[in-house]
Amino acid sequence: MIGEKNPASAGEEEITMKTPIDTPENTTRSRRPGFWLRAIEHRKHALAHEYRTGLGATAREGISDEDYATTMATLERMARNLGWSDDDEAEFGPRGGHRGFGRGSGRPFGPGFGPHRGHRGHGRGHDRPTAENSPEASRSTDPQA
């Protein structure tokens, strides 16, 4: 019958996985959907962790400790050169926010000359198409939007 056994312990007589809804005192509840949903999440996280750990080991193959350390230090220096600081991490972490050298950092707009219209309407100038033949004159939407 489907759902008779915990997939994480297939082949074993006892269900061994412990989740908030599966305790030794109440294993019958483990047959309910909530248990299996929790079991799936549990395994997803475990597999993702194993995958990430494995990737790290794979990525480092053939790289000396010295080269690895140099790379870490260089990347940190580059991050700081790009305006990152430890304070940024405290607030946003490596993926969050737009601090420092990124968009919206308050830097003045430069002299634009490219074809991309963007959204801000800032400086455009030399070497661009004229108003008569400009791309936007005949285009109603921005393909980069």
Partner 1 sequence: MDTPRPIGYWLTLVDRLIDEQFASTLEEHGVTRRQWQLLNVLSREPATVEQLDAAVAPFLSADDGESSAEHLTELIESAWVAGTHDGYELTDRGRTAFERLAEVVATQRTVVADGVTAEQYEQTVAVLERMARNLGWDG
Contacts with 126 (C-beta within 8 Å, 6 or more apart), sequence order: 111, 113
Quickly list DSSP for 18-44. -BTTB-TT-GGGGGSHHHHHHHHHHHH
CB of 141 to partner 1, least distance (A): 11
**Residue among 1 and 90 whose Cβ is closer to partner 1:** 90
Contact between 70 and partner 1 (CB under 8 A)?
yes
Contact between 23 and partner 1 (CB under 8 A)?
no
**Residue among 33 and 114 whose Cβ is closer to partner 1:** 114
Q: Which of 12, 32, 82, 85 binds partner 1 (CB under 8 A)?
A: 82
**Residue among 5 and 117 whose Cβ is closer to partner 1:** 117
Contact between 91 and partner 1 (CB under 8 A)?
no
Contact between 115 and partner 1 (CB under 8 A)?
yes
Exposed/middle/buried for residue 88 (C-beta within 10 Å: 0-12, 13-18, 19+): middle
Q: Residue 65 carries which DSSP code? A: H
**Residue among 44 and 139 whose Cβ is closer to partner 1:** 139
Question: Dihedral through CA 41, CA 47, CA 52, CA 58, nearest 10?
Answer: -170
- Whose tokens are 């395994």? That residue is 43
Give the footprint of partner 1 on this chain (CB under 8 A). 55-56, 58-63, 67-68, 70-79, 81-84, 86, 94-95, 98, 100-103, 105, 107, 109-118, 120, 122-124, 127-129, 135, 139, 143-144
